[in-house]
Structure 1
Amino acid sequence: MAYLLSREAFQQELHGQRTDLFTLRGAGGLQVAVSNYGARLVQVAMPDGQGGLVDVALGYDSLQGYLDGQLSMGAFIGRWAGRLRAGQLHAPGGCILQLPVNGGQHHQHGGPLGSRFQVFGVTEVQADAMVLTHTFRTEDDAVPGTVRLTLYLQVTPDNALHMDWMAEVADAATVFNPTGHAFFNLAGAGSTLGHTLQLPASRYVPLAPDVCPTGALASVQGAPFDFRQPRSVADATAMAHEQLARAGGLDHYLVLDDAVASTAAAAPAATPGLRWAAQLSEPASGRAMQVWSTAPGVQVYAGHGLKADPARDLGRGAGQGTWLWKPGDGICLEPMEYPDAPNHPAFPAQWWLPGDVVRGAIVYRFTG
């Protein structure tokens, strides 16, 4: 049964702006609650087949929970998702820019004032859709260039959540690499280790000891990162592998193969360039989530940072009460550009110029 949220628990003045909670309902029964604090997916509730709804994404029951809890929980991440090594950004012409660091020695998930810590503007709300806005500024993250983001969220009749964005570059060359950071659990509660995962990816990005990319690509053959056929998360994470030890668990970028079609269903009608990126399934309930994206790869994070810490990991979801999240209780599938790409000549890294418009999308479609 889906947890009943209180809208008032998300209404507050923060950074001089008003936070709120909005619930989008699709004709197929999917229900998604969104906070404009970090454009967060607070709740994703899908039909349970018995006339009710079941939560399939982790979340807190108040804004305070997000202020005190896991920093990226449910958030829209930008301007640069993932890490930039030592806070450095190699710009065209050989210039190296120093960015603020956070969460260790790197610039991570947009830095200490990234979009996950910002209150988005809300320009339109309908029964099944909404539009949010945010401006990325150099004074917040030290990345050159102002970027005006418009984020479109819509729940469609086929029980899919579409996240489409348009980012307009205003005044200087810049980089832009957003993603969504929802923690999913298709069982509704408990461990996700029994979930099965499939991704059409034959290569992954190995990590150096500082958990940033080495700059090379490696084959997934014989490694924990081979999800070309459906494979349980437990099977992958149980392997003895240096890369798992280095990252503390499964937290790696998989490069999607070209021209791979989904065997599960036809592509959603959405942004040009959208392609099948992953399928997550929960055998006991029969629930599944297809992920479609315009990005070249997916960061797969199996939730080892959930530590059963009452200060950060006490969320909702176990029945109608609270749930102390343990390692593996949620899994993130984060479509994005190559990690740390501007700092690796071999990785594709686009610098956008003033006047450019960057478009992208992620679609999560739920079945079962």
Structure 2
Amino acid sequence: MAYSLSRDAFRQTLNGQPTDLYTLRGAGGLQVAVSNYGARLVQVAMPDGQGGLVDVALGYDSLQGYLDGQLSMGALIGRWAGRLRHGQLALPDGAVLQLPTNSGPHHHHGGPLGSRFQVFTVTEVRPDALRLQHIFRTQDDSVPGTVRLTLDLAVAPDNALHMAWTAEVADAPTVVNITGHAFFNLAGAGSTHGHVLQVPASRYVPLAADVCPTGVLESVQGTPFDFQQPRRVGDAVAQRSEQLERAGGLDHYLVLGDVGGDVHLGAQPAGSLQPLAQALPTTPAGLRPVALLSDPASGRALQVWATAPGVQVYAGHGLCLEPMEYPDAPNHPGFKARWWQPGEVVRGAIVYRFTG
């Protein structure tokens, strides 16, 4: 059963900006609570089939919980998701820029002042949709360029949560890598080792001893990262693997859509958020199936679609499926990180559809 949240527990002033909690409700019964601190998904409550709701996303019941707890819980991650080795950013001209570090020697999830630690400005609120904005500044993360991010969240009648963003590059070439960091547990509580995961990816990015990419791709065949066919998460993490030991568990990037087993997610999510929120932009083209996660015990399932080329799969507090660009891509020529130019607009989306 989903617990009730107190809005007052999320209302504070951080760095001179007000924080709050917003609850979106869809016609199909899905209910999503969002804090503008880090644009975090605080609660994702789906119908339990018995007239109630069950919360299938991990979170805290107050803003203080997020300030004291797991740093990425439910947050929107940017400007660059994942690690940049030794805090270094290789520039197109061959120069190397030093960024602030916050995960050992590495720059991680946007650094110590990344979007997960920022209060977003709320510009539009509707019963089933929310618009938030944030400006990435060089003085916060040392990455060149100002980027104006607009994030639209909307709950669709088919119990899908649409997250769509535009990032406008203002004044200098820059890199952008946005993802969502929600932890899911479709059982509502307990272990997720009994969950079954399928991802259409035949290759993954192996990690070096410093938990950053080696810069090559390897086959998932015979590894804990082979989810081309439905596989119990517990079986994958129990497999002996140097890669799992290096990462402290399952925390690896899988490359989507090259080959692999079909993931049957049903019809593709609607390409537009209309008429849910008439003023919001459409979900961008290019959505691809990312993952199918299911809990056989409850019969619940989560279908994930996104515009990203791959997904970071993290089995930690719950199961985190982070569609994103290749990790540490600017520092690996083979990963072909794109440098966006002033005036260009980056568009991306993640769609989570809940069934069962």
> For this structure pair, what is the TM-score category when the shorter chain's length is used for normalisation?
over 0.9
- Show the counterpart of 1:81: 81
C-alpha deviations, 1:197-249, integer Å up to 9, x for none? Answer: 00000000000000000000000000000000000000100000110011110
| 2:337 alignment counterpart | 349
C-alpha deviations, 1:312-331, integer Å up to 9, x for none? xxxxxxxxxxxxxxxxx411
- Residues 316-350 of structure 1: CA distance to partner in whole angstroms, max 9, x if unpaired? xxxxxxxxxxxxx4110000000000000111200
Partner of 2:165: 165
- Number of the residue aligned with 1:299: 312
Question: Partner of 2:264 in structure 1?
Answer: 263
* Secondary structure in structure 2 of the residue aligned to 1:8: helix
| Structure 1 residues 259 and 211: alpha-carbon distance in aligned structure 2, compared to 1, 3 A threshold | closer
CA distance in 2, matches of 1:158, 1:151: 21
What SS does structure 2 have at the residue aligned with 1:366? strand
Q: Post-superposition shift, 1:359? A: 0.2
- Cα distance in 2 for partners of 1:167, 1:332 equals 23
Do the aligned residues in 1 keep the contact of 2:13 with 2:19 (CA within 8 Å)? yes
Cα distance in 1 for residues equivalent to 2:333 and 2:265: 36
CA distance in 1, matches of 2:162, 2:63: 23
Query: Within 5 A, what are the aligned runs for 1:46-65?
Result: 46-65=46-65
* Cα deviation 1:153-200 (Å, max 9, x = unaligned): 000000000000000000000000010000000000000011000000
Give the % identical residues. 78
Aligned to 2:183, what secondary structure does the other structure show? Answer: coil
Report SS of the residue matched to 2:293.
strand
Letter in 2 for 1:282: D
Aligned AA (2:4): L
- Per-residue CA deviations over 1:225-275 (Å, capped at 9, x if unaligned) read 000000000010000011001111000000002488642301112220001
Q: String of CA shifts for 1:65-104, please: whole Å, max 9, x gaps.
A: 0000000000000000000000000011111000000021
TM-score, normalized by length of structure 2? 0.95
1:209 aligns with 2:197: no
> Counterpart of 2:294 in 1: which secondary structure?
strand
- Tell me the residue number matched to 1:313: none
Q: What residue number does 1:119 align with?
A: 119
Q: How does 1:1-368 map to 2 (within 5 A)?
A: 1-258=1-258, 262-270=263-271, 271-303=284-316, 329-368=317-356
- Whole-angstrom CA distance in 2 between matches of 1:296 and 1:67: 31
* Deviant stretches of 4+, over 3 Å: 258-262
Q: 1:9, 1:264 → 2: CA distance?
A: 37
Query: Secondary structure of 1:125's match?
Result: strand
SS in 1 for 2:143: coil
Structure 1 residue matching 2:13: 3-state secondary structure: strand
The answer to whether the 8 Å contact 2:265/2:289 transfers is no
Distance 1:259-1:130 versus aligned 2 partners, 3 A rule: farther
Q: Give the Cα–Cα distance (whole angstroms) in 2 for the partners of residues 240 and 258 of structure 1.
A: 26
Cα distance in 1, alignment partners of residues 144 and 265 from structure 2: 41
Unaligned runs of 5+ in 2: 272-283
Q: Residues of 2 paired with 1:154 and 1:259: CA distance? A: 31
For 1:42 and 1:146, the matched residues in 2 are separated by: 28
In the alignment, the residues of structure 1 paired with residue 153 and residue 259 of structure 2 have an alpha-carbon distance, to the nearest angstrom, of 27
Please tell me the residue identity of whatever aligns with 2:296.
Answer: P
| Secondary structure of 1:245's aligned partner | helix
What secondary structure sits across from 2:333 in the alignment?
coil
User: 8 Å contact 2:202–2:258 — kept in the other structure?
Assistant: no
The 3-state SS of whatever aligns with 1:346 is helix
Rounded Cα–Cα distance in structure 1 between residues aligned with 2:263 and 2:154: 22
Q: Verify the 8 A CA contact 2:291 2:304 in the aligned structure 1.
A: yes
The 3-state SS of whatever aligns with 1:277 is: strand
One-letter amino acid of the structure 2 residue matched with residue 276 of structure 1 = P
